[in-house]
Structures are given as structure tokens and as C-alpha cells.
Amino acid sequence: MNHLSITTTQKETVQGLGKPARRIDGIAKVTGRARYAADHIPPNMVHGVYAIAPIGLGTIAGIDSDAVRKIPGVLKVFTHENAPKLEPPKTFSAGGNAQQSQMILQDAEVRYHGQPVALVIAATLEAAMQGAREIKVRYEKQRAGALQLDADKANCEEHGEPVDVGDVAAGLESAAHRIDATYFSPTQHHNPMEPFTTTAAWDGPRLTVYQPSQFLVGMRNGLADVLKTDVRNIHVISPFVGGAFGSKACMTPQMVMTCAVARELGRPLKVVATREQCFTVSSFRSPARMEISLGCDSDGMLTALRAQVDEITSRFDDVSMEIAASMPRMYAWPNIEARSRLCKADCQTPGFMRAPAETPGMFGLECAMDELAEKAGIDPVEFRIRNDAKRDPALDIPFSSRLLVECLKRGAEKFGWAERPEKARSREVDGAWVGYGVASAVYPTIVSPCSVDLEYDFEGNVKVATAAHDLGTGQWTVVGQVASECLGVPLQKVAVSIGDSDLPPGALAGGSATTASLCRSIHEAAERMARQLADWSARMDEPPFGDADDGFQIRGAKLVSKSGNEAPIKDILDAAGETAIGVRGSTPAPGKGGKNLRAFARGAPALGAYQIDGHAVASWGAQFVEVRVDKHTRTIRVPRMLGVFAAGTIANPLTARSQMLGGMLWGLGSGLLEQTRVDETRGIWVNKDLAEYLVACHADSIEIDSEFLDENDQVANPLGAKGIGELGIVGVSAAIANAVSNATGIRVRELPLRLENLLEDA
């Protein structure tokens, strides 16, 4: 089968990592040639639109679809009475591939607001939409669904492994300064530009699915399990994804049902979620309640951390982001107690959303650090530097590299931290109080099993193919750059194929894992290719290498040994009677073996996270924010932000900078705007559109700058790269809250920060 392949059209020669290469898929996107999932129209295709429950909890008492069936173009209506029956799949957190275990259209129970209750099939999209609007469903309502964290905590249970180090009670009791506070982060939804969509086409036993995906292999295998078919018959295609942020990592119930219905219809079926449905089709970020206690001695050295974090989950799945567990790695606490609890709610199962644990977790922790620094009378930057950790305090293992102090120092210098107002309301600009804030950022290095096919032909052209993903982050380009680095060829000579489940199992696009994982696999493939060429070179009339030669590398058109001997690859191929050489490089998660690779190929999310070769591996950063708070209206403006990061080798400074700026801008929106509102009387989310679910936009555009420190972490992988995608958002909301406190003297412990939080003395 022919797979989509892209080569750069950039005229300037780019070779290897660390070079600012323009996106090789850029022209296809801006000219409209890039085909996203919903752009595919198989022959004889029909459309489907789901009707969703307007109630939060109840039972379907009856469905009247007679009028719908009379709409011109409507072909069939599926409900729980006639839809295909499906077995509950395992969730991602349970080692499976599904966003949640509860499938749709299986019974009369309404378990959460927005749950699909019918699927209208029609020859045209307009007819399907009309049918979904006009179908009549009677409900027996129960109590209002619960979507909030219970204030009395009666519905919360311990979840996950607690972290216990030392004697926290003694550490807090002996502290010269102490802070005990509760912080809240809200429910949030991903809202990628591209909605959730599935186009399913069966050809006999073989299913082709056009689906925006962060985990092609997982979706392929998950579908095979639920649909009871051979995995070799499932083909998932997703070369371009219009944003995901965690929402497209797992197989959704709507995706499964769409494929099952298409099989029953015997015709290709396309379903595209409306923006309202995007709030319940996939997962969301759970609200979090973070009870944090910190202490330090009279010298400002930390004595203890206690963190208790509550999240919500669905009635049918236990899924936690384990926010509390992300906190201990930040500073040198001698005593630690970190625990997570799950609270059952009437919602779909929550899941991953950009830095799932760190985004809410660092809001609570970094605000608490500022509050404690203020009590101790120590500058917030100095307080963090003073308490830097050389080893992970919970695991008691060394960090592979940790340039957090350097990020803080460089950021303070570049931002002008020395000019920070010493007292609240002491500096004004145009009728607004000015404040500066800082927060540290961290994201653990996650490595996915990964396989890559690498080919080098007689003309020196390279092909690299893997079932990896590009969510709009620039992965098409970075895959080519990694191959360019490992083979010593210009990027212009590399053709890249990704986004197809028929390719070798590629890295999962989650947890900022893709680049670090691909570096390992492509490097392994390049080494295997070099060894194979060295073996073939013995067939040459005058073999260029002797028994003492080893450490072979491909450097452009030549094979080179460590001792400096070399031979043209074209001559080696000619002697071997080959026009090209192809190899596969496969690397398991760190510390794992072949079983890990096989499990991943079967769709299990067999990832390795944070601990590699006896080291704690992570990316670090420091984020600085200036705010201006109007004295009279208390509106908050953020005129500038700076992020300084250390994330190993930066594959492409151009796309990496875009990642950081985008992440920081999202952090601005997360800190000041984003919140999914709840109508507690009905148990529903109410702002299910982009008019009322507020996100940062052009009007909020500000001066944002980012900088990467030089770092090469060989523990992470042979090319020294770590993950960066999640890092940019992590510390922003805390830095904003800290800056608002510096400006106004008012400490806000709940997101989003709004002017009504600052009106206590207006």
C-alpha cells in the first residue's frame, strides 16, 4: 500500500537537530491539500448525527422516531433498542485503549449529560441533523447529576499509591513558618479546532477508519477487540490532526459505535461531533481541590510537604491524574506526604488534558511556595533556588539533569525581576497596579515503545516511516530531522511517512513522548543499517574495513568507522547487488525488553515515565509574568510573559518556540478565562460552545518570550532530547496568581482568577 510521504521544499540546506527547519507539511496545510479525517468521502457514504441527552441523570422512558423516519433522506435511526451490542473495553488507565468503559446506546440509562441516546443515519448531513433535532425522547429524571467535588468529601476514596517520606507532622510542627491552604482548579475542556470525527468504511471484513488520533496502534487494537475482528483487518488513518491536547489519545464510545453501525449498514458512515457534543464525546480535565501544607525553618529551608488532592471521576471508571504525586519532585523536602482521592460524579470519564497532573498541581504548589516565601520574608526566586533538590526526594535517585536553578536565574535576569514591586499597590501604570510573579515548571520525560522503518537508496535518498502522529506540533518535520541527524544527510533528502496504523508501531503522541521516543528508535535503526552495510562491504573487491574497525556510522554518502576508514555507500550497495538498504529500529520503554514492544504492538499503552537507568528524568522551566490590575474595575491584564526552559536537545528551535509560546498563551487562558460552568440544579455543563467557554484570543495577545538553555541529557536518549509539548503551560496560572497577589495584596486560591475575586475592598 502506498502511504502519504512528504519531503521538505525548503531551499536552504538543513541538516540534523538544533536547526530551525520550516514545517515540511506547511505548504500542504496552507493550500488545503492536507486532508484531515472529516475531509475523506468514501464512495456511497452516508452521514450520522447523534442526539444527546439534555438531562444529567435518568432513564429513557420512550423514543418516538416515526416523524424522523419520514424526513427525506433519513435511512435509519439507531437507539438502545436496536444498536449493535458492545462489550465494555478497558480504559487507557487500566491498560486498554478506551476513553471510558461505558459504551453508548446499550441500555435505557442516562448516566451523564450529553450522553448519546440516538444516532440518525441519512443520505445528507442536513437530513441527519434535522432528524437528530426532531427525535422525541421521554425521560424519567432522577436527582440532578453531581458534577462538582463534594464539599463534605463523603463521596471521595483514596486512590493510587501514596507518597510518604519522613515525619511530616514533626516537620510541620517544628517549622518556623507554615502555610496551610486549599487551592481549586476548575473543570476544563480541550476544544481543539478540529472536532471529534469518525469516518468508517468496511470492505468485506476489512475496516478503514479516518480518525484524528494520538494513538493509532491503540485505536486499531481497541477496535479489533470490541468489534470482535482480526486486528489485521483494521486500518486507522490519521496523517493530520487539528489539535488534540490529550482528547484524541483514546478510543471513544462514539468512534466504536460509528464503526459498528457502519458494518451493520454495509455503507461507509461519517459522524462529526458538533461543538456542543465535543464537551461530552471525549474526556475533560477534572476539577481539583488541593489541600497543601508547607513549612520552612528560620533560614528558609523547607521542612515538610503535605498534599491531599481530590479529583472527580465517572460512576463507572476510576481514572485519576494523580496530581499529588507530581508535587514531591519539585524541591528538597525532607518530609513528604502526598495523597490522591477520587470522588464519583455523574459525568463521562475524565482524562488527559495538557500536562494532566502538573497544570493543576503546580498552580496549588507554586502559589503555596510564594505564600510561604512571603511569610519567611524571602524573595520568591531566591526561596526556590535555596530549596533546589539534587535528588528526587520521594524516590531518592539522582536527576539525570536539572537546570531549574539556571532557568530561574536566567529568567530573573532577562525579565528584570530586580524591579519587582516590594509591596502591593506600590507601583502604578495608567491607573493599574503592577505586579510580578514567578513559578517553576516541570514535566517528566515519558518514553513510548516505538518502531521505525528506515531506508537508504542508491542515490542517497532516505525514507523514514512510522505510525507516529502530528497534532499540529511539527512532528512531520522533526521525524525527518532526527533521521537527518542520525544519517548525516540533508533534510531535503529525507521523505517522511507517519499517521497510518499499517506503518510500524510509532510512539504514542501523549505526555510529550514522541520526539524522545523517536530519537531512540531512529538512532537504533541507523546503527543497525550501518552494521549491515559494514557486513556487505566485505563483498567489495577491495574491502575498505578490517577486523579492527568498529563503531560504524553513516555520514551522508559514506559509511565511516570509528578509526576513520570509510567507503561510499553506493559502492557497498553495488557490491551487494542491492539498490537500497532497509532496516527496522525498535526500542522498548527504558528498562523494558521485547515483551514491552510486543505489548505495545498489541495496543497496550506500555510507556516508561520519569525513571530511566536509575535516574529521574524531566524537563524544567521557570515562568515570569507581569500583571496590571485596574484600581477601580479590578480587571486583570497580562502585558508580558517569559519562560526559560531546559529540555535537553531541542530538535527544531522554530517549532519548539511555537510550542512554548502556544503553551504559555494557553496558560494565560487557563489562569484567567477557562472554566466549564455547572448548573447544579440540573447537573449539566452550561457553556458548551466557544462563545461562552472563554479561551485566550487575539485580543489577549501579549508580549511572550521563551528561551531554551543548552542541555544534552544522554540518559534520556542517545540524542539527548526530552519532551517539551506539555511544559509551556505548567507554571503560568501560578505565576499569574502570584503576580496578582504582588500587585494587589489579595491572594486568590481558585482558578480562573476573575475581577470579582479582587473586589473585597473596592
Kindly list the catalytic residues: 726
Angle at the Cα of 78 from the Cα atoms of 74 and 80, rounded to 5 degrees: 160
* Residue given cell 485503549 in the structure block: 97
Cell of 584: 527496522
CA–CA separation, 341 vs 288, rounded Å? Answer: 10
Strand, coil or helix: 74: strand
Q: Where are the alpha helices (DSSP H) in 538-593?
A: 569-576
Residue 681, SS3 per DSSP: coil
Distances (CA, A) of 680 to 113, 144, 594, 677: 12, 7, 50, 9
CA–CA dist 401, 648 (Å, integer)? 9
Cα diameter, the chain: 90
How distant, in Å, are the alpha carbons of 74, 678, 679, 690 from that of 675? 37, 9, 13, 11
Q: Look-up: residue for cell 540534523? A: 16
Q: Which helix (H) or strand (E) holds 661?
A: helix 653-672
- Within a 10 A sphere around the Cβ of 728, how many other Cβ atoms? 30
Those residues whose C-beta lies under 8 Å from the C-beta of residue 82, and which sit 6 or more positions away, are none
Nearest to 84 by CA among 218, 203, 262: 262
Helices (H) and strands (E) in the chain, counts: 16, 35
Q: Give me 122's grid cell.
A: 441519512
The C-alpha torsion from 752 through 753 and 757 to 758, rounded to 10°, is -170
Residues 6+ apart with CB under 8 A from 273: 50, 195, 196, 197, 254, 281
Region for residue 336 given its phi and psi (left: phi exceeds 0; alpha: psi -120 to 50; beta: otherwise): beta
627 with 613: CB under 8 angstroms? Answer: no
The bridge status of strand 46-52 relative to strand 116-122 is antiparallel
Alpha carbon distances (Å) from 711 to 173, 404, 486: 40, 12, 19
Angle at 212 between CA 33 and CA 601, to 5 degrees: 120
Alpha carbon distance 498, 454 (integer Å): 12
